[in-house]
Structure 1
Amino acid sequence: MGDFEMMKKTTSALAVAALLGTGAASAATFQVNEDATISIGGDFQMAYSSTTDRTGTDQTGFVDNGTSLVFSGEHAADNGLTTFFNLDLDGFDTTQDDQANQGNVVDEASVGVRGAFGEIRVGSDVGVYDDYADFGDIEWIGNRTSFSNSDVSDVIQYSNTVGAVDFTLQAQVGDQSSEDATTDLNANPNATAAQIDDVTDAAAGESSTSLGAGASIDLGGVTLSGAYEEDNNDDEDAIFGIGAMATLGGVDFTVGYEEDQVEANSIDKVVLNAAYTVNAITVTGSVQNVSFDSIPNNAAQGDDGRLENTEDPESNINQDDDSFTETNLSIAYSMTPQVTLWAEAIRNDRLNDEGDYNAVGLFYAW
């Protein structure tokens, strides 16, 4: 998607206020020749947080918050087409010394071609839901309820802009019958039922292609955005969301509705975000009401040590109610065009205050 994964179309009003207002930097671009360019960019992200665990005990720590290294490039051909690539590497731990295998995680990798017809991209990239409808995903750290698959693998995407309408169509090829079939479930004791089902289907040689679509339209003062995305290897599960963005009195607002149609315990949520920038400071607030069909309860563990996710296969939440309200408040200060300092508080309205946290951090973009 470019230099910063957190800048997404769905929260464009907030993202522009928070990132441009706080001075997000651009990657360095090198002109290889008259037709080709290569860009190198990335960011250092560090945070210190205090998070409440399931027992109500606060756990503190200094952690890397998603440092990345991004390579991209493009070549303009004589026939009017432009080919391009993007490679986004994660897996860094900038808070620890003598770490081996740094940056060995491919977050996104894709190649594509664009022209008058639009753009086609193949590989792994941000999914259409994350791009157009993950309205609540505005946190610096983030552990509130989210349906998004975030990055998607084995994907083919077609995107274009027609007038005021921007859209992307997506097909995620779901043939997982080779190496994935040997996935060791015991390597992940917290694997959810949905993840286990995916691997079980793969081991049986089952495959499916999941479809998705997202679009936004600028109506002049108000932007509407929405997306639909199927879950890979499960035709019965799908997520969708629709929302609106506008600026009123200098405050950027986003309101959205999202639904996860997971068969065992479907979830819906209503999101309201607001951001206000004064000089180099941006204050952002968000409230989302989350409702399950039945009370999510994943406190028990089976004989194999895995959480018993029969009631709520999409999360590890343990609740005494089927509806709760999650809030976020953050402030970001642009110290320089490259460096942003931030502070954030999350309240998740769960038993024993599970998942609540306070954090401060640094975002250095280059």
Structure 2
Amino acid sequence: MKKTLIASAIAAATFSGSVFAQAEMSASELAAKMDSMPSVYGNIQYVLKHTNVDGGGSEVEHADNGSTLGVKHDHEIAPGITGFFKLELEGINADDKSSSNGIDALDEAYVGVKGDSFGQIWVGSDDSVYESAIVKIGNFHEVGSDIFGNYSTGEGDLVQYMSPSFGGLTVAAAVQVNGDSDTKGGADKSYPYQLVATYAVDALEVSVGMDSNDGGAAADNNENSYGLTATYSAGDFSVIGEYQTRKDVNDIVGVMGVYTMGANQFALSYQMLDDDASGDKKDTVILQALHNVSDHMYVYFEGYLSGSDAANEYSLEGASGDEQSIASVGAVYYF
């Protein structure tokens, strides 16, 4: 396993007083100890973004677009069984130190076990199995679409499971454990759950999923969310279709094409949301051009054009409008 300089420095400092004092320790034993160290990873993300709302003014912003720092580790518990954990922190605000308190937020934290025969189970805070399998377009872009999903189960207090592949079929499930002290809106304790099935054959992958949405306040709509996503890949080109529905909330449809050409990636997507309560529709077109500068750095351009039936859908500088455009350029360095 390739180690970062940070991990190597930590390992060297840890073992310098004890390992090197033991003449009997072999090079292979030292290498094994080095391999047992956690992997440190992270990224710095910057974006320069111009936003314009028709009738609501415009603004230019230079921002941190989600810089993170994390640590992860896995080890063999028994033959064929591996234990693992991950801790990822965010909230760095790397664009302006005067507004940063350092790392002040949690993105992911979980612990689990996996094996070839039974799949994997993990507990903690992570993207849910529904989000990972169904919300492909909303998770794809760097700046992020204003149309994402219509489910309400969050990313914390999750117990999740994913099976091994059975001839291309995998199943996954998640339950969120909301106790007496951490329920939303004053509701009683609850256990919202998600179920997902994914089938992959040759160039086609299809996922279907549902979210019970049972974790909100008693007055909230807890109708199930249902989602369907299909991805077809043919060499350097792939196309993704997505559909989500939730009774008395909204329907979401989207399609995206992605083409890779050497170090370059181009993507074009369209999403539409139909709101059941108001009857209003809104849609978003997104264009992305991304270039991988190296194995650890990429730059990109993203353009967003959004429109809505609602006259006050998008707000900026104290005014609202029914159309919004965003032009952004960004850079990401990761290790």
TM range (shorter): 0.7 to 0.9
SS of match in other structure, 1:252: strand
3-state SS, counterpart of residue 186 of structure 2: helix
1:117 aligns with 2:118: yes
* Structure 2 match to 1:156: 159
* 1:355 Cα deviation after fit: 4.3
Q: Give CA deviations for 1:331-352 in whole Å, capped at 9, x if unaligned.
A: 0011111111001011111342
Choose between structure 1 and 2 for higher RCO, CA contacts under 8 A separated by at least 6 residues. 1
Q: What residue identity is the alignment partner of 1:342?
A: Y
Distance 1:324 1:279 in 2: 35
Number of the residue aligned with 2:228: 242
How far does residue 54 in structure 1 lie from its aligned partner after superposition? 8.1
Q: CA RMSD in A?
A: 2.5
Call closer, same or farther: CA 1:282–1:87 in 2, change over 3 Å.
Answer: same
What pairs up with 1:157-196 in 2 under 5 angstroms? Answer: 157-161=160-164, 162-175=166-179, 177-178=180-181, 180=182
- Cα 1:287–1:44 shift into 2, 3 Å: same
Number of aligned residue pairs: 291
1:273-300 deviation per Cα after TM superposition (whole angstroms, max 9, x unaligned): 00111121111000112211242xxxxx
TM-score, normalised via structure 1 length: 0.73
Of the structure 1 ranges 217-226 and 61-70, higher mean CA displacement relative to structure 2 is found in 217-226
Preserved contact between residue 35 and residue 77 of structure 1 (Cα < 8 Å): no
**Is the 1:267–1:291 Cα contact (8 Å) retained in structure 2?**
yes
Aligned position for 2:11: none
Q: How far is 1:236 from its partner?
A: 2.0
**Cα distance 1:323–1:233, how it changes in 2: closer, same or farther (>3 A)?**
same
1:191-206 alignment runs, 5 A limit: 198-201=184-187, 206=188
Letter of the structure 1 residue corresponding to residue 251 of structure 2:
D
Q: Secondary structure at the match of 1:357?
A: strand
Aligned AA (2:196): G
SS at match of 1:356: strand
Which shifted more, 114-123 or 344-353? 344-353
Q: Describe the shift of the 1:35–1:336 C-alpha distance in structure 2 as closer, same or farther (beyond 3 A).
A: closer
Q: 2:191 is paired with a residue of what secondary structure?
A: strand
Q: Show the counterpart of 1:289.
A: 272
Structure 2 letter corresponding to 1:135 = K
Q: Give deviations 1:149-184, integer Å, cap 9, x for gaps.
A: 586111101112223122321111122x32x47xxx
In the alignment, is residue 356 of structure 1 matched against residue 325 of structure 2?
yes
Q: Which runs of 5+ in 1 are unaligned?
A: 1-25, 182-197, 296-320
Q: By how many angstroms is 1:69 displaced?
A: 0.8
Deviations 1:66-96 (A, max 9, x none): 0011111012123542111110101111101
Q: Percent identity?
A: 23
- 1:273 corresponds to which letter in structure 2? M
**Match for residue 21 of structure 1?**
none
| Structure 2: 5+ residue stretches without partners | 9-30, 312-320
Q: Which residue of 2 aligns with 1:141?
A: 143
Larger Rg: 2
* C-alpha deviation, 1:27, in angstroms: 7.5
Paired with 2:161 and 2:224, the residues of 1 have a C-alpha distance of: 20
Whole-Å separation in 2 of the counterparts to 1:291 and 1:168:
28
